[in-house]
Amino acid sequence: MAAVSALEIHALAKSYDGKPAVSGLDLTVRPGEFYALLGPNGAGKTTTLRMVTGLLKPDSGAISVWGVDALNDPIAAKRLIAWVPDEPMIYDKLTPLEYVAFVAGLWGVEGAEAEREAEALIDLVGLTAQKHQRCEGLSKGMRQKVALCGALVHAPKLIILDEPLTGLDASSSRLVKDVLKARVAAGATVIMTTHILEVAERMADRIGVIAGGRLMAEGTFDELRERAGHAGSTLEEVFLEIVAGSEVAA
């Protein structure tokens, strides 16, 4: 029997005011995979991820998270998912430690254990010095890291991130990449959007390129490069070629 996919999207569609944002998208993310979703502005990446996380209702299609039908059983699917949006919401009046412990509590981990887990995550992302400061006084990048800690505290099996590295300085970006890699090594699956092609090239097991709400190409970096007929070319060149091809086809 084939192993169940971490995420399986079939014929997913969503329009805004009659204008298609996602048009019959098929996408599969395998267990234990680090999957990078690339695409030009307006390609439908965020819309897709918001549907997977249950924040947006598709017009049609199917989404399955570790075999759970996310449209029919959204609560069971959400238990398996961590979601880090591109503009995370955190509670400004709480400190990072209080916020992450609070989120742990929502997942049923409470008291000293919640605080221990929160503290470990906060230390891991380099926010030790800020852990008792109110979030409202933190920089954008620090707030992003707090949101990441909140998302990871329930040991999710599928970690979904929308542009997690924008706004992070080089060392913070390295820390977050290391945290994500460690989660993958421990058995989690990651799908993330990024405009930083070098991140996709270096970190992703497979890369999917979306344009016009459809999956235009998918594979390892080498496979994409081969498909574009450019051995030795950069991901940027391959990406631009795939996107240009999709515009011609549209």
Q: Which residues bind to ligand ATP, rule: CB under 6 A?
A: 16, 21, 39, 41-47
- φ, ψ at 123 (rounded to 5°): -65, -40
The minimum distance between CB 250 and ligand ATP, in angstroms, equals 13
Q: For residue 39, give every residue at least 6 positions away whose Cβ sits within 8 Å of its Cβ, in sequence order, or none.
A: 45, 193, 209, 210, 211, 243
DSSP bridge partners of 158: 81, 189
The minimum distance between CB 48 and ligand ATP, in angstroms, equals 7
Q: For residue 42, give every residue at least 6 positions away whose Cβ sits within 8 Å of its Cβ, in sequence order, or none.
A: 21
What number of CA atoms fall less than 13 Å from residue 81's CA on the CB side? 30
The minimum distance between CB 201 and ligand ATP, in angstroms, equals 18
Q: For ligand ATP, give the closer residue by CB, 46 or 130.
A: 46
Q: For ligand ATP, give the closer residue by CB, 55 or 182.
A: 55
Q: For ligand ATP, give the closer residue by CB, 96 or 208.
A: 208
The minimum distance between CB 42 and ligand ATP, in angstroms, equals 4
The minimum distance between CB 192 and ligand ATP, in angstroms, equals 12
187 torsion bin: left (phi>0), alpha (psi -120 to 50), beta (else) = left
Q: For ligand ATP, give the closer residue by CB, 56 or 71.
A: 56
Q: For ligand ATP, give the closer residue by CB, 95 or 194.
A: 194
Give the number of residues written for the chain.
Answer: 250
Cα angle 107, 30, 87; round to 5? 50
The span from the CA of 111 to the CA of 102, in Å, is 9
Q: For ligand ATP, give the closer residue by CB, 118 or 210.
A: 210
The minimum distance between CB 215 and ligand ATP, in angstroms, equals 12
Q: For ligand ATP, give the closer residue by CB, 47 or 246.
A: 47
Give the H/E segment covering residue 66: none
> What DSSP string describes 151-203?
HHTT--SEEEEESTTTT--HHHHHHHHHHHHHHHHTT-EEEEE-S-HHHHHHH
The minimum distance between CB 43 and ligand ATP, in angstroms, equals 4
Cα angle 118, 121, 123; round to 5? 105
